[in-house]
A and B are shown apart, each in its own frame.
Chain A
Amino acid sequence: MAYDKVLLKRVGTPNSVSIDTYKADGGYQGLAAALKMQPGELVDLVKGANLRGRGGAGFPAGVKWSFLPPDREVTYLCINADESEPPTFSNRVLMEEDPHQVIEGVIIAGYATRTTTAYIYMRGEFTEQYHVMQKAVDEAYAAGYLGENIQGSGWSMNLYVHRGAGAYVCGEETGLIESLEGKRGWPRIKPPFPAVEGAFRKPTVVNNIETVACLPHILSRGMDWWKSVGPEHSLGPKLFCISGAVNRPGCYEAPCTITMRDLIYDDAFGGGMRDGKKCKAVFPGGLSMGVLRGDTFPQRPAGSKIDLSEDHDELDCILDFEDIKQYGMLGLGTAAAVVVPEDVDIRDVLVNTCRFYAHESCGQCTQCREGTGWMYSIAKRIRAGAGRSVDLDLIEELTNNMGMMPGMSICGLPDGAAWPIRTLVQKFRAEFESYIAQQHAGSVEETIRRVNPAAYELPILGGRQMAPAT
């Protein structure tokens, strides 16, 4: 597939992190073009480009900016580099290898939103990346791209690189804001939305690193180029991560026309399955968007709107913001795929998935706090050989009753928990059932008696509901 890399173009080139090489490669020209425009024009331009947020939700950046109240006095811009979604590392590549591209994007976004203070909020584990970014920021200050009267435009903006303490939920935009303010990273209730009342109770925009990294290119290469890349609803270059049992794990760039199969098997991307194994499952958009069947399976995928013939896999899914939903996925997410090979026990996948969300739920909302923890306990029991068919139904029921979309939580974390867990249980139900069928008789009772004797011994709870194991 002939595609000229844009975002990753300079990755791997000598001294790609320095401002000199960046400028020599044509850097900071997008900014120069931007500064010739009025901020309002810039917002309209980005709206017209339909640049969809790369942080997970795919919300158009220009539209988000236009929610800022016109008569505001202060605006904060928070660049989300928390990147805590499992298998995701594209922001990290950008920051490590081409920090000035990011900074130029931040400055353009800052100018468009009339920001005077911007923050890059990095996850706590980013140590090296922090130093690379900070050095680049210092260079940008020295070159007059940051600070007072930027490039003679009369507009000033400061940029701070801030490190969090390492929590998935601090990537949620209001969790990020709380954490940035020095508080516990508990997502806020909305309304008010950050555009109206965000950081320090002032209008605030939160954008992902990759989202802003697209901005210099829209300006320097022009709208025609931009609109020529990818389908209309998912315009522009996109970074895809692939990891797991493939030959060439890594971060790749492609337009949103690529299919999951290409990403795994194309030599320019994943380069095929490692050790010639078969693909069993793949989480296409980070963990939180759901799972695709990588092997054939004799039933129509639950929740899938695609009419597949029997005995088909789901790898023809196109990785754009819309098509993926046809397969029962929540969305494109972070476009970071993790590939599960045939010899992995699906119960392990379930345990691992549940553990992540149980570990990361911030604990404010009951359904999320207790639901994720409960599902993790159930998954562990199934893994220990004491599962029941009703457990699978129960897990499905729980996933249907959590999340922001049905209104049951403050933030989207439990939606992100519900989708992969539900699709796992639905799409791999036959495999779970076969494990359950192979359990030795009495294992359920033994296990429950051991971990929670009360469940059997108290007459009010015992026997009636849980025995006999099915």
Chain B
Amino acid sequence: MPKITIDGKTVECRENIPVLRAALEAGFEVPHYCYHPGLSVVASCRLCLMQMKMPHPKTKELDWAPKLFPSCQTPVKDGMEVKFDSQLVHNNTNHVMEYYLINHPLDCPVCDKAGECYLQDYTEDYGPATSRMVEEKNKNPKKDIGSQTLLYQDRCVLCTRCVRFTQEVAGTSELTVINRGNRGEIDVFPGEPLENPLQANVVDICPVGALLDKNFLFQQRVWLLKPTKSVSPADARGSTVYIDVNDDRVWRIRPRFNEKVNEWWISDESRFSWQHVHSPDRLNIPMIREESALRPTRWPVVQEQIRAQLNTVASDGGSRVAIVLSPMMSCEEAWLLASFVRQSAPQATFVIGYVPVEGTDQTFPKGFVISAEKCPNRRGVETVIEQAGGPSASWDEFLTKAGGGEYRFALVTGGYPKAWIDSTLADTLRKIETVVLHDVWASALDDHLWLQLPSATWVEREGSFMNADGLVQPFDRALKPLDGVVGDGQFYYELAGHQGLFRSRKVRELMAAELPTFGEVFVPREEPEYAH
């Protein structure tokens, strides 16, 4: 590992990284705009400049070179000595920050980025307090550039991060710079809007409020938002995300750096995967069939009823009992349910639930993948089923058998972002005498259900998902469940006979005794503040 000296302090750093990155990782604050670790280096904002010791061209003596160097473009080299804390560097930073504001509208009070804007932060830390610009400002237009994004060009600092993102990561090159000099603007080509499955990432990487998310426009001040570490349920990749919440409501989802999966990016599917959470159509009362109608009941009653029913139908060991474990469940929920059922019905069939698939995997130029499998935890649930032993079936096998009337009792879990039981599926399931459905949505099967249990969305739960590569990643609870709903984890925890509060970590410890895979979850490296 190379050792370099920054402002007199010697630090060890990773190989082949720019000095800027090394400095940030070592805890130095270096202002920068154009550098982003996931994009090519253009060294054009000229904000990250540093002084460097170089051999004198004539005497060969090592001394501070008279010019500045871009730290984002200079790779670390063992023994090199640089400084950021110098008059020359501060002078440059000060000038550049003044430049950035000469044509900036200063409309922070109405800007969505305010509070997490690098222009605000750097100006406060490094910029002059007043502007010497007394001339008229350039007034650039506001543009609608795509279905998810707006561009307020007057706020842009022309760092070209967004342009490089569409060229290098998305590979679609919709964005470009038009015009020259301080008349430069970001724009799309005529008739070719910013439309790609990763498009909204440009909003995150825009260091200022130039690129805006239409869904988030004028919704919240960012300092009111509380971030929760979570994992995207949108596909089998398991992209790590932050869920930003205020006033018991999700306002947005942002990528959370993950060196093994999604790096700095997420798909738009992941970003907008929370929208069903606040749907007015969600179920929120547990219902039980009394005579011919479903009537509200209470959760403790539900538990007693399920235990009693299972004891009856599984008196033969449970050969005519099916338990459908949805790939939307967390590993912990699946394990709790499976271990509870195995005790009372060792011959019950465990079924991996419906796995939604759309098209094929999409791979982008720098390796970002959007999985065709639109659920987060097929592998986790499969692992649990395999370990539980006893009879198991695929979803198709289950449907065939159910259609043939082989099951008397089924507990089906759902949890998909939209209603998924169509009339054909409902007709098949109707062949099962007693059906318990634990799901978010009402369905065509409701007239046949014995128990209809409202499920919480992943935002309201905690646990872990195992992604397509077998990586187990934990997610936290960002919201409490909808009124009337008990968290799925809590429900199965109590059903399995445990007492107290369901905590996913505690459950994973129990699981690890049988399934070492779950003993250790993967938590991505924390990026330093201002790392990108």
Contacts and interface: CB of A to CB of B under 8 A. Distances in A.
Same assembly: yes
B181 A406 contact: no
Contact of A366 (B99, B132, B134, B138): B99
Given A378-B135, A408-B68, A451-B136, A189 B41 contact: yes
B interface secondary structure, majority? loop
B372 interface: no
B189 to A, nearest CB: 13
A378 B181 CA distance: 16
Interface in B89-114: 91-92, 95-96, 99-100, 102-103
A92 B133 CA distance: 40
Nearest to A189: B43
Given A363-B179, A407-B49, A448-B135, 5 more contacts: A169-B180, A363-B177, A367-B99, A372-B181, A406-B68
Contacts of B152: none
A408 B88 CA distance: 11
Interface string A170-192: 00000000000000100001000
Contact of A370 (B132, B177, B182): B182
A371 B69 contact: no
Contacts of A59: none
Interface string B113-144: 00000000000000000111111111000000
Interface string A350-394: 000000001111111111011111100110110000000000001
B181 A363 contact: yes
Interface residues of A, number: 42
Contact of B132 (A381, A394, A408): A394
A189 B496 CA distance: 63
Contacts of B95: 367, 398, 401
Contacts of A74: none
B42 interface: yes
B102 to A, nearest CB: 6
Interface of A: 167, 169, 184, 189, 358-367, 369-374, 377-378, 380-381, 394, 398, 401, 405-410, 448, 451-452, 455, 460-461, 464-466
Interface in B181-201: 181-184
Interface residues of B, number: 42
B68 A407 contact: yes
Contacts of A405: 67
A373 B42 CA distance: 22
Given A358-B182, A363-B182, A452 B136 contact: yes
A448 B137 CA distance: 12
Interface string B465-487: 00000000000000000000000
24 contacts: A189-B41, A189-B43, A189-B73, A358-B182, A359-B181, A363-B158, A363-B182, A365-B45, A365-B46, A369-B99, A372-B181, A374-B102, A374-B133, A377-B135, A377-B136, A401-B95, A407-B69, A448-B134, A452-B136, A455-B131, A455-B133, A460-B130, A461-B131, A466-B132
B180 A363 contact: yes
Given A189-B42, A360-B180, A373-B181, A408 B130 contact: no
Closest 8 CB pairs of A and B: A407-B68, A407-B67, A373-B182, A370-B99, A377-B135, A363-B184, A364-B44, A361-B181
Contacts of A451: 134-136
